[in-house]
Amino acid sequence: MTRARFPAALDGGAKARRAERGSELLRPQRLLEEAARDAARRAPPSGLGLDSQAVRQRMADRLRADGLSCEPVLQALATVPRHEFVDSALANQAYEDTALPIGHGQTISKPSVVARMLELLFGGDNARASGQLGRVLEIGTGCGYQAALLSQLARRVVSVERIEPLHRKARENLHGWRRSELRLVFGDGRLGHAPNAPYDSIVAAAGGEALPAAWIEQLAEGGRLVAPMHDAAAGGQVLCVLDRRGGLIERRFHDAVHFVPLKSGTQ
């Protein structure tokens, strides 16, 4: 089993940009105070309205320049209006690479972190064969932004959220952005969602010491799971990629991250 704690080396400008960032963790769910301070420092996009496709394309182009190479993910990022998933007071920061508060102690993840996880998810066997993610289970709907992206990439999406006000808000936010079949579930994400299993792809926005057994049980043959997980060797959370092939489970570790803890029950 190969354990790679860092993404593959990048060429040219992308490598230099990552080197400049040093050892900074990818922090999709930072403390709200940090997210608010970061948002206040950002300059709003100038010369273009937030509803302009060019604004979303500019965000996707920046991520491409930083090394993102999965074309379906880039296209989804250029399609879904991120500003519609954040508070109106923070809408001007929606297309910067920053986490933003969404209430209830949660944040919307940085576009770079969302893109990285979806890129890893797209590396699974079923995605390569079909050109899409197939049947997807998302753990942690949040404000619904990643679910909207997944709806551009998958045949069917089931998204589970344990915080009821966020579940209700995501339903509002996702109205009209359902290219594929999308089901939002209020429930305990640690349990997955057995009624619609198995899933070709599973992605989680919270992490713990280990991956819940329910997630692995609900992963289809040839499927891939991407989730944050504590790795003692790395001294913190990393993105864990798990593949089910021929009845065997293969696990690899990638980028260092910092997600909220995975919790049981509903709130």
Catalytic pick from 23, 52, 69, 109? 109
Which stretches within 31-187 are classed as H helix? 32-41, 53-65, 71-77, 111-121, 125-130, 145-153, 164-173
Q: Containing H/E element for 214?
A: helix 213-217
Provide the β-strand partners of residue 203: 138, 226
How many Å apart are CA 110 and CA 89, to the nearest integer?
17
What tokens were used for 172? 């509002």
Number of alpha carbons in the 13 Å side-chain half-sphere of residue 200: 21
What tokens were used for 196? 């619609």
Q: How many CB atoms lie within 10 A of CB 195?
A: 8
Instruction: Please say if 112 is a catalytic residue.
Output: no
Q: CA-based angle 18:257:75, to the nearest 5? A: 65
The burial class, CB within 10 Å (0-12 / 13-18 / 19+), for 196 is middle
Q: What is the DSSP string of 7-23?
A: PPP--HHHHHHHHHHTT
Q: Which of 202, 134, 142 is nearest to 171 (CA)?
A: 142
What tokens were used for 100? 């933003």
Q: Are 73 and 118 in contact (CB under 8 A)?
A: yes
Catalytic residue positions, numbered: 109
